[in-house]
Amino acid sequence: MATKKPAQEQPSLVPVLHQVSKIVSSKLTLDEMLGEVVGLAVQATACDACLVYLIDPATNEVVLRASQVPHATALGNLRMHVGEGVTGWVAEHKSVVALSSNATRDARFKLFQGLVEDTYEALLSVPLASAGDLVGVINVHHREPHEHTHDEIGTLVFIGEQLGVAIAKSFLQEENARLLEQTLEMRRELETRKLVERAKGILQRKRQLTEEEAYLRLREQSRRLRRPMKELAEAIILNEELDRQGGEEPKPEPGDAGEK
């Protein structure tokens, strides 16, 4: 009977839904996750091409980040403003667009040179969102006219909702890692400045130099010896400490060998 048709379609979606749950709870990198998104979209819609765009908060643009068909030069470079083209419209309105044929004739459509997908007949575009905030847009394309089924649209929307959360989490982790590295770099720079200041003081006292002359001496020796100023400063400080402990005559500072 006709009532059995949904039961025949449903099993094909079960692996997709399981895979979505697996990805959401995984520790995949962002690029790995996007690759999984593309694979799931292809599996769920039997499309001929899939493109994933992510929002760039700094510029309020959607940027191509992953695709089924290789786009080496376009990835990370192809950008459009929110509201621009079908993809930008989906990003702006956080709504689904399903075009079963003649996608290029849609009033919102914008052709991008180099994207063969823009010549395909059918387009399904779905937002990736997390807690109502836009994360990106996923597009699936069919070369020939294709009537998107309720299951196809529903599954892709589900993928967009669930993986939008996972991608947002990945964004947050990347931002936290960036901030941590920035903090560590600031600490390293502060530690270097402290060491250089201490080494300058030693040179000023031992060599009867001004602060500027001591700094220029350090910088000159750093360039000549091709060693970081931090290393030279540490060597000068260590030499000073050894002299104090041993009560010996001061040793030549790093780079002073042969100087009179």
Greater confidence (256 vs 241) lies with 241
Mean pLDDT across the chain: 83
Residue type, 182: Q
The pLDDT of 36-41, averaged and rounded, is 85
Determine the pLDDT at residue 139: 94
- Indicate if the pLDDT at residue 259 is higher than 50: no
What is the tens place of the pLDDT at every residue in 204-214? 988 888 999 98
- Indicate if the pLDDT at residue 8 is higher than 60: no
- Indicate if the pLDDT at residue 5 is higher than 80: no
CB atoms within 10 A of CB 133: 11
Domain layout of the chain by residue ranges: 2-178, 182-246
Whether the Cβ atoms of residue 129 and residue 137 lie closer than 8 Å to each other = no
**How far, in whole angstroms, is CA 258 from its chain's centroid?**
51
φ/ψ of residue 133, rounded to 5: -95, 135
pTM for this prediction: 0.63
Question: In sequence order, what are the residues at sequence separation of 6 or more whose Cβ sits closer than 8 angstroms to the Cβ of residue 203?
Answer: 209, 214, 217, 218, 236, 253
What is the tens place of the pLDDT at every residue in 108-147? 999 887 788 888 999 999 998 888 888 899 999 999 999 9
Determine the pLDDT at residue 58: 84
Name the residue with tokens 């769920």.
44
What is the tens place of the pLDDT at every residue in 139-167? 999 999 999 999 889 889 988 888 877 77
- Indicate if the pLDDT at residue 40 is higher than 70: yes
69: pLDDT confidence band, cut at 50, 70 and 90?
Answer: confident
Determine the pLDDT at residue 260: 39
Does the structural domain 2-178 have CATH classification 3.30.450.40?
yes
Radius of gyration of the chain (CA): 30
Determine the pLDDT at residue 254: 59
3-state helix/strand/coil string of the chain: CHHHHHHHHHHHHHHHHHHHHHHHCCCCCHHHHHHHHHHHHHHHHCCCEEEEEEEECCCCEEEEEEECCCCCCCCCCCEEECCCHHHHHHHHHCCCEEECCCHHHCCCCCCCCCCHHHHCCEEEEEEEEECCEEEEEEEEEECCCCCCCHHHHHHHHHHHHHHHHHHHHHHHHHHHHHHHHHHHHHHHHHHHHHHHHHHHHHHHHHHCCCHHHHHHHHHHHHHHHCCCHHHHHHHHHHHHHHHHHHCCCCCCCCCCCCCC
What is the tens place of the pLDDT at every residue in 215-237? 898 889 888 888 888 888 999 99
Determine the pLDDT at residue 190: 87
As assigned by CATH, the class of the 182-246 domain is mainly alpha
- Indicate if the pLDDT at residue 89 is higher than 80: yes
Determine the pLDDT at residue 187: 86
